[in-house]
Structure 1
Amino acid sequence: MGDLAGRDCREEAAAPAPAPAVGGADHLVIMVHGIVGSTADWKYGAEQFHKLLEDRVIVHCSNSNMHKLTLDGIDVMGERLAQEVIEEINKRPQITKISFVAHSVGGLVARYAIGRLYRPPGQSLENSPQSLTDSNRGNIHGLDAVNFITVASPHLGSRGNKQVPFLFGVTAIEKFACCIIHFIFRRTGKHLFLTDNDDGKPPLLQLMVDDCEDLRFISALQAFQRRVAYSNVGYDRILTLILK
């Protein structure tokens, strides 16, 4: 189930029914899993949010990019997540604030999604029920942006010497991995290893370090009151500290 409002955040085959609002909760927390993951990955975390902040937040575990869908590319997943967030907002007119908590590749997907959902200062949605507290930051689809938190997310991709520990820092193996990664992780693999060049454009992760066209990646991040990136100093066999 995608939502946690007095119930578990668990995986279901059918689309989850909208959960009722918890008391006067007006803060939507979107939790995004990583590659080949599902809503079950955030089950425990969502339960803790509900236990500690039951009357203050509504927790939604993203369910639009589960399992093999996580191989479709960061941009495709980001568009799906953005649409999912819009649908959740439309179900609950009392919501005035939004936060994101994302793990692994989910952090990149969330960054893409907020770039799509960002509204510049002074631009809100028609009939938006809330009054934004800081019009200089802009907003996320008409909501106050509060927390943007990522856990072990490869914000710089996975390309480069000694950036993926299980490749042992051997240059030949790393170069070979760049050539075959799309066979394993498909389009998402290309994005992570910066080998994509859609329409001759720079790699997507390179584009995401700035605002571009109708996707305001950096402005969207700046809209949040708090931006936190958590990572392991050691014992992460997938990513090095510098990537996260």
Structure 2
Amino acid sequence: MIAAGTASMGRAATPGPSRWPRAIVRLRLALRSSEAAARGGGGGRWAACFRPAPVAGAAAAAVKEAKGERSAEVEVEPARGGGEDVWSARADAEVAQGGGFPEHLVVMVNGLVGSADDWKFAAEQFVRRMPDKVIVHRSQCNSATQTFDGVDLMGERLANEVLSVVKQRSGVKKISFVAHSLGGLVARYAIGRLYEPNNRRASSAGKSRDDVEHLEGLIAGLEPMNFITFASPHLGSSGNKQARFLLLFYEHMTFKSLPFLCGLPFLERRASETAHLIVGRTGKHLFLTDNDDGRRPLLLRMVDDSGDLQFRSALRSFKRRVAYANANFDHMVGWRTSSIRRQHELPKHRLLVRDEKYPHIVYVEKEVTNNRDTEARADLYDPEEEMIRGLTQVPWERVDVSFQKSTQRLVAHNTIQVKSYWLNSDGADVINHMMDHFIV
């Protein structure tokens, strides 16, 4: 079914030259120029749109590492349950001298048709910034077409992978999640599976009851710290004109990191009807068209505790919940759904102010819990409103990002996480913002 959908999309992707949007033609030229520059050829003026600015001093080492030239400061090891563990070589030295290994496990989760490589830049910056505190696990259990299997199945796989890593790294005591795009929904499902309520946490954590009395609960037997998402469709894709989100896989299958075919009106009109043909069960979940065994759509169930899956309690157990969202130029996931807001709650453009330290951070809303009961018409059911009410029963920090003045704005969805340093380097300040406010 997926193959058929891909073939159909392939036919739609080959119209005559006269019908190509001018922007797409320019983007193709830009990509070719960038690739030529990477091979040592002449980059041309289009390559300048993606070439990172020159850096000097200590930052040069980080850039060198981000381009694949890993320094001796970073250690990488395949995890037993899949994915890769990344930590600082300095941590090994401290262990050899009788010190302790980092106790904070940071799990990084990729989005649709992604892989562990998507978080390469951020993971290595993390361990260099906090060498004695964190070990980063880049998840690999939901890669490529595995991301078509549905949020629930992906969440189960992620939960099993995390349990395997925790077992392998028995010294870790804290856990955080950092997820991009669809990975935010997968992580939310996984923590619902991994959540351990109050009456089980003392024995599971191996601590005294007094040590964990302040905790709401544990995740995989560890103390939950940060739950952070980047451009994640928390409210799904229905009603947000985000049919383009389902075409994200074309970034990898055709022109990587470009919003290919994301503006075709007929795709947006028919997306909710044909999503399952493109990305399988994941499409049904995103458009709330799933009804397995007569149950309500999965995303509606994921805003509350549901049976043995404690979604809301799991979110509440974290010390922080943060939603990074692109305020504009994100052709995959809209501002409302990624920041968990109603349309009228979005900051006005006059309130968006660039930060000198983080030039692409334009608005920060500290922890807000929305318990207001908005009047709802009895004859008009709004599932998006239900999701907002459910998710905002716990406080969220919102960090709004804008690449409006960046030459990389057309690939904002990937730039916000620095998926590829060559194409998305302008998002480095967003990653720095995350690390500067990270609770360790």
The answer to whether structure 1 residue 139 and structure 2 residue 218 are counterparts is yes
Whether the 8 Å contact between 1:8 and 1:47 is mirrored in structure 2 is: no
Whether the 8 Å contact between 2:204 and 2:221 is mirrored in structure 1 is: no
| Offset of residue 45 of structure 1 | 0.5
Identical-residue share of aligned pairs (%): 50
- Hey, what does 1:151 align to over in structure 2? 230
> Structure 1 stretches of 5 or more lacking a match?
none
The answer to whether structure 1 residue 7 and structure 2 residue 75 are counterparts is yes
Residue identity matched to 1:230: Y
**Aligned mates of 1:33, 1:184 — CA distance in 2:** 19
The answer to whether structure 1 residue 238 and structure 2 residue 332 are counterparts is yes
- Hey, what does 2:194 align to over in structure 1? 117
The answer to whether structure 1 residue 64 and structure 2 residue 141 are counterparts is yes
Change (3 A) 1:53 1:15: same
SS of the residue aligned with 1:111?
A: helix
Whether the 8 Å contact between 1:96 and 1:129 is mirrored in structure 2 is: no
| TM-score where L is the length of structure 1 | 0.88
Whether the 8 Å contact between 1:118 and 1:138 is mirrored in structure 2 is: yes
| Offset of residue 6 of structure 1 | 3.0
Whether the 8 Å contact between 1:97 and 1:146 is mirrored in structure 2 is: yes
Across the aligned residues of Structure 1 and Structure 2, the Cα RMSD in angstroms comes to: 2.5
**Aligned mates of 1:141, 1:82 — CA distance in 2:** 8
| Offset of residue 122 of structure 1 | 3.0
Change (3 A) 1:16 1:220: closer
Structure 1 moving runs of 4+ over 2 Å: 5-10, 14-24, 124-136, 161-168, 172-175
Whether the 8 Å contact between 1:208 and 1:217 is mirrored in structure 2 is: yes
**Aligned mates of 1:93, 1:111 — CA distance in 2:** 23
SS of the residue aligned with 2:105?
A: strand
- Hey, what does 2:311 align to over in structure 1? 217
Whether the 8 Å contact between 2:155 and 2:186 is mirrored in structure 1 is: yes
Larger relative contact order (C-alpha < 8 A, sep ≥ 6)?
1
Give the number of aligned pairs.
Answer: 236
SS of the residue aligned with 1:194?
A: coil
- Hey, what does 1:208 align to over in structure 2? 302
Query: Mapping of 1:21-60 within 5 angstroms?
Result: 22=91, 23=95, 24=100, 25-60=102-137
The superposition leaves residues 105-152 of structure 1 with CA deviations (integer Å, 9 ceiling, x where unpaired) of: 000000000000001113127463345544441111211100000000
**Aligned mates of 1:9, 1:48 — CA distance in 2:** 16
The answer to whether structure 1 residue 194 and structure 2 residue 288 are counterparts is yes
> Structure 2 stretches of 5 or more lacking a match?
1-72, 245-261, 339-440
The superposition leaves residues 31-73 of structure 1 with CA deviations (integer Å, 9 ceiling, x where unpaired) of: 0000000000000010000110111011000011111111100
Residue identity matched to 2:197: P
| Offset of residue 80 of structure 1 | 0.3
SS of the residue aligned with 2:225?
A: strand
Whether the 8 Å contact between 2:77 and 2:86 is mirrored in structure 1 is: no
**Aligned mates of 1:127, 1:139 — CA distance in 2:** 8
- Hey, what does 1:181 align to over in structure 2? 275
| Offset of residue 174 of structure 1 | 3.6
Whether the 8 Å contact between 1:151 and 1:231 is mirrored in structure 2 is: yes
Task: Indicate which of 225, 228, 242 corresponds to 2:322.
Answer: 228
Q: Highest CA radius of gyration, 1 or 2? A: 2
**Aligned mates of 1:193, 1:231 — CA distance in 2:** 20
**Aligned mates of 2:305, 2:319 — CA distance in 1:** 19
